[in-house]
Amino acid sequence: MGYRRYDYRGPDDLRAMQAMSARAGHWHPGELAWSRFEHIGREPEWPTALWEHDGRTVGWAWAQLPGSLDLDLDPEHRGLAGEMLGWFAGLVPGERAVTVLDGGLRLDRYGYRESEDAPFFVRLRRDLADLPEPVLPAGYRLRAVSGPEDAPQRARVHRAAFSTPEHPSRVSAQSYLQVMGAWPYRSELDWLVETDGGEPAAFCLAWLDGGEAVLEPVGTDPAHRRRGLAGAATLAALHAARGLGARSARVNARGDDAYPSARATYESIGFRHHDGIRSRTYVSGRKLM
Ligand SMILES: CC(C)(COP(=O)(O)OP(=O)(O)OC[C@H]1O[C@@H](n2cnc3c(N)ncnc32)[C@H](O)[C@@H]1OP(=O)(O)O)[C@@H](O)C(=O)NCCC(=O)NCCS
């Protein structure tokens, strides 16, 4: 009892969500900042609610209409899950999919069943004590992003890495500026591989909070893949993070067999799936028409 729900109003509420998830050891603040700010104009599709107890945020639920939800909850307040799912069911009466980072929260008892075919993410980690130096093939160079003036080319290489014919990336120079303005973004942790001619080819954005860095996102333009560029950009970002106090790093990578490249890239530079943490997606309700 004693919970108060309120609707997400803006970046201050994201800070409360980041603090709650960091306290619980679930989502890293950088992952939430990236996800909330990588695109412009999505807020109407993303009804989000926060729950407070004794003035402290203890859970949040972030819908992605038409039917998905990310949910995070302080383990000491697991009993709140039913109310949070009720809020989502009020928004989406049809088929619903709810994703949680596996921290012991199971949704089976709320009428949901775990999806057997949904993609999932595993958490990979790496200690930063023994970090190899980045090595680049001839014709490329590494540098950190210098500031807002880099936003257009930084967004361009992101789009090159992540766009498919069916799903062109919606990251733009404008949305990248929004990411750059978000806490805890630091351009010293945002690394680019460029050709000697100055064309961006690969990147790694790391975020730092409380001694742990997270990678979100990493990518290479398809024209430059399998030359070690993502690995080099990531090692450069990790060296920078270590210089700023990070002792370890983590990343969520697809764990299902349909998308092995990201996990293979992180494993090639020493990341491992140690702690068993992974995302789980639960489904419920009738099919959407
Ligand atoms: C995943 C991705 C970043 C890899 O970029 P890359 O520059 O080609 O990666 P690297 O050359 O540094 O790869 C290093 C190693 O990772 C492994 N690897 C990379 N891509 C792989 C693939 N498609 N299949 C299997 N192993 C792969 C290999 O061991 C590779 O070494 P090798 O080429 O000597 O065998 C790139 O494919 C990409 O941008 N994908 C789309 C965006 C994405 O999924 N980003 C990651 C999640 S945020």
The confidence score (pLDDT) of residue 275 equals 85
C-beta 269 within 6 A of ligand 1: no
Determine the distance separating the centroid of ligand 1 and the alpha carbon of 226, expressed in angstroms.
Answer: 6
Closest atom of ligand 1 to 232 CA is: 12
Å from CA of 181 to ligand 1 middle: 29
What is the overall mean pLDDT for the chain? 96
Instruction: Evaluate whether residue 56 is within a structural domain.
Output: yes
Indicate whether 1 pLDDT > 90. Answer: no
Closest atom, ligand 1, to C-alpha of 264 = 17
Check pocket membership of 145 for ligand 1, CB cut-off 6 A: no
In this structure, which residue's CA is closest to atom 15 in ligand 1? 265
Which phi and psi angles does 155 have, rounded to 5°? -70, -35
The answer on 113 and 23 residing in a single domain is yes
**Shared domain check, 136 and 116:** no
Indicate if 112 and 44 belong to the same structural domain: yes
The stretch 270-287 carries a mean pLDDT of 87
pLDDT tops 60 at residue 140: yes
3-class secondary structure for the chain? CCEEEEECCCHHHHHHHHHHHHHHCCCCHHHHHHHHHCCCCCHHHCCEEEEEECCEEEEEEEEECCCEEEEEECHHHHHHHHHHHHHHHHHCCCCEEEEEECCCCCCHHHCCEECCCCCCEEEEEEECCCCCCCCCCCCEEEEECCCHHHHHHHHHHHHHHHCCCCCCCCCCHHHHHHHHCCCCCCHHHEEEEEECCCCEEEEEEEEEECCEEEEEEEEECHHHCCCCHHHHHHHHHHHHHHHCCCCEEEEEEECCCCCCHHHHHHHHCCCECCCCCEEEEEEECCCCC
Asked if residue 288 has pLDDT above 80, the reply is no
Q: Are residues 18 and 91 in the same domain?
A: yes
Whether residue 230 has its Cβ less than 6 Å from ligand 1: yes
Domain membership of residue 272 (yes or no) is no
Could you tell me which of 133, 101, 103, 146 has the C-alpha nearest to residue 120? 101
Instruction: Give domain status of residue 253, yes or no.
Output: no
Shared domain check, 113 and 177? no
288 or 218, which is more confident? 218
Tally the domains of the chain.
2
Q: Calculate mean pLDDT across residues 168-186.
A: 98
* Residue 258 placed within a domain: no
Which residue's alpha carbon is at the smallest distance from atom 27 of ligand 1? 261
CA of 118 from ligand 1 middle (Å) equals 22
Residue 199 tokens, joined: 């064309």
pLDDT at 286 over 60: no
Antiparallel, parallel or unpaired: β 48-53 and 200-209: unpaired
Which pLDDT does position 285 carry in this prediction? 63
CA-to-CA distance for 104 and 123, rounded, in angstroms?
Answer: 15
Q: What share of the chain has pLDDT > 70, as a percent?
A: 98
Q: What is the CATH number of the domain that holds 173?
A: 3.40.630.30
Q: 86 lies in which domain range?
A: 3-122+278-284
pLDDT at 70: 98
**Calpha distance 266→38 (Å, rounded):** 22
Q: Determine the distance separating the centroid of ligand 1 and the alpha carbon of 35, expressed in angstroms.
A: 22
Least confident of 36-45, 65-74, 271-280: 271-280
Same domain, 14 and 81: yes
pLDDT above 70: residue 169: yes
The answer, yes or no, to whether residue 37 has pLDDT greater than 50, is yes
Q: Say if 252 falls within a structural domain.
A: no
- Indicate if the pLDDT at residue 289 is higher than 50: no
Do 198 and 102 share a structural domain?
A: no
When pLDDT is cut at 50, 70 and 90, the band that residue 276 belongs to is confident
- Tens of pLDDT along 225-246? 999 999 999 999 999 999 999 9
Q: Are residues 135 and 237 in the same domain?
A: yes
Do 113 and 143 belong together in one domain? no
Does 162 contact ligand 1 (Cβ within 6 A)? yes
Strand order in the sheet with 113-114: 3-7, 48-53, 56-64, 68-73, 96-101, 279-284, 113-114
Residues 103 and 11 grouped into a single domain: yes
Pocket residue to mutate for ligand 1, from 225, 238, 252, 259, most atoms within 8 A of Cβ: 225
Contact 182, 33 (CB under 8 A): yes
42 within domain boundaries: yes
Considering the domain architecture, whether residues 117 and 138 belong to the same structural domain is answered as no
Tokens 């961006």 belong to which residue?
200
Residue with the nearest Cα to atom 16 of ligand 1? 265
Residues 77 and 160 in one domain: no
**Span 144-148, average pLDDT:** 97
pLDDT at 35: 98
Residue with CA nearest ligand 1 atom 42 = 219
Taking residues 55-83, what's their average pLDDT? 97
Kindly state the average pLDDT of the residues 271-289: 81
- Would 265 be classed as within a structural domain? no
Residue 266 lies in a domain: no
- Is pLDDT of 104 > 80? no
pLDDT attached to residue 103: 66
Number of neighbouring beta carbons within 10 Å of residue 111: 13
